[in-house]
Amino acid sequence: MNKGKSGGKRRPVGRRPGQSAARRAVKRRVRPAARAARRQANAAKRPMPKPPARRPLRPAAKRPVARPGARPGARPAAQPAAASPELQARVTAAQNRFAELENQAQLGGVYDAIGEFDTKLVDLPLALEALRNRGYVHSEQLEDRLEALEEKWDDARPRVEAALQQHVARLDKQLDDVERQIHRLHPAEGALRTTDSVLNSLDKRISGAETAVANLYSGMNNELYAIQNDLNRATAMMDALDASANIILRETEGPLLAVKAEWQRDGDEGPEGMLFLTDQRLLFEQREEVVTKKRFGIFKADSEMIQELLLEGEVAHIEDVAHKEEGGFLGMGKADILDITFTADGPLSRARFHLKGQDSSDWAAMIKRIQTGEIDDDRAQEYVDELEEAKETAVSFPAQCPNCFAAVPTPPRGVLSVTCEFCGATITPE
């Protein structure tokens, strides 16, 4: 088999071999970072208002404790000295609870959540562009999803802000009524039961207000966190690739999935490491600490960290993919198994992996998408044209070795040179 060489570990974003300056100048979509900067500038002009500070009903130092049944304006009577410590503790607890509810009634948590939403709509496009710069070329819909979410939020934000102000104003009036009752509260069983009921009712109103505002954008919030999870997974994958000196991505090759896995070469056991899937290859790199010396045959005395690329196979050479769950008890603790069968051109006949943290069904589906070519439709727009150029480069290799005239198979897409397996000559496109 001819050995191919790729162009390097990472591809400079925005530069495609052979592409004309005119085609590079075409901008089909505003870059995520540009949208983020524009959004940040707009947010600075119209920041989300802070929760309003509630004006106290009366100065705290002039809050007299009224005698039950006293006429309005009458001098307050002294607190009965005979109140039990238990009743007095309940009065203090009611006063403390009111203070907590008074703070919650400003809906500060909701204001913070909305501010965080605004911040994420700036941070996520920046994170996406950083991933693109690192070589994550797929999931074009991420740009579309972010753009759609920004438009929905810009439309909903004024309504959310107005609803917040209305709920805070309504709760502020209710707080005034409850505060008057707290001021009149005395250590009597009946008064305390009534106050507890009033505080419970206020608590429910606050929770209802928080829910009502959250419901105005809950769908958008769910979508925001779904996008963030997708970006986090892609970031973890790119970090895992960057941690390998053994894996060199070809020109135009796009990573898709990565997961911790065990290659069960010996039945149910085998080396631990990372399994990677790109739009061209399936790779397994062993990454584990191996004990090299034991004390008394039991205790670890010495070990070494092994990081070695053990499997590299073309997805085009995968003949069959099977996924299943094994083991477990009552649906718990099942192992996700991915079974790969290669063609005669593959590196081996079969490979069985225990995936740790991802569904084997998702991997099987992704492999099928690669084999059908569907995955190429999922590329970000700025990485579409390079596919055609890479295909043209692949077919421009000579059919025979210029040195020994041995047959040269068409190399995989993105390979820039191959080594003749007969004479060792380096062959490049014509």
Q: What are phi and psi of 302, to 5 degrees?
A: -155, 155
Domain boundary among 192, 211, 231: 231
| Same domain membership, residue 95 and residue 203 | yes
90 and 178 within one domain: yes
**Distance between CA atoms of residues 234 and 229, nearest Å:** 9
124 or 297, greater pLDDT: 124
Is residue 91 located within the same domain as residue 163? Answer: yes
Q: Are residues 211 and 248 part of one domain? A: no
pLDDT in tens, 42-83: 666 666 666 666 555 544 444 444 444 444 554 554 445 556
pLDDT by residue (tens digit) across 152-198?
A: 999 999 999 999 999 999 999 999 999 999 988 888 989 999 999 99
422 inside domain: no
Beta partners for residue 290, in sequence order = 304
Q: How many domains does the chain have?
A: 2
Residue entry with tokens 């008057």 = 180
Residues 136 and 205 in one domain: yes
Looking at the structure, do residues 210 and 268 belong to the same domain, yes or no? no
Same domain, 41 and 168: yes
CB 134 within 8 A of CB 201: no
For the record, the structure tokens of 32 come out as: 């995520």
CATH number (domain holding residue 332): 2.30.29.30
Residue 407 lies in a domain: no
- In which band, very low, low, confident or very high, does the pLDDT at 268 lie, cut at 50, 70 and 90? confident
In percent, how much of the chain has pLDDT > 70?
77
116 and 253 share one domain: no
Global model pTM greater than 0.85 = no
d(CA 384, CA 23): 12
Same domain, residue pair 90 and 227? yes
Residue 400 lies in a domain: no
Q: Are residues 284 and 329 in the same domain?
A: yes
In this structure, the answer to whether residues 331 and 360 fall within a common structural domain is yes
CA 23 vs CA 26, 51, 247, 250, 385: distances in Å: 5, 50, 31, 22, 9
Full domain range(s) for residue 36? 32-53+84-231
Q: Does pLDDT of 123 surpass 90? A: yes
For residue 13, which phi and psi values (nearest 5 degrees)?
-70, 135
- Residue where a domain terminates, one of 231, 251, 268: 231
Of the residues 196, 211, 231, the one at which a domain ends: 231
pLDDT band at 27 (very low <50, low <70, confident <90, very high): very low
Residue 270, C-beta contacts closer than 8 angstroms, at least 6 positions apart: 262, 263, 264
More confident residue, 24 or 41: 41
Residue 131 and residue 222 in one domain = yes
> Torsions phi, psi of 289, nearest 5?
-85, 125
Helix or strand run (H / E) with residue 304: strand 299-314
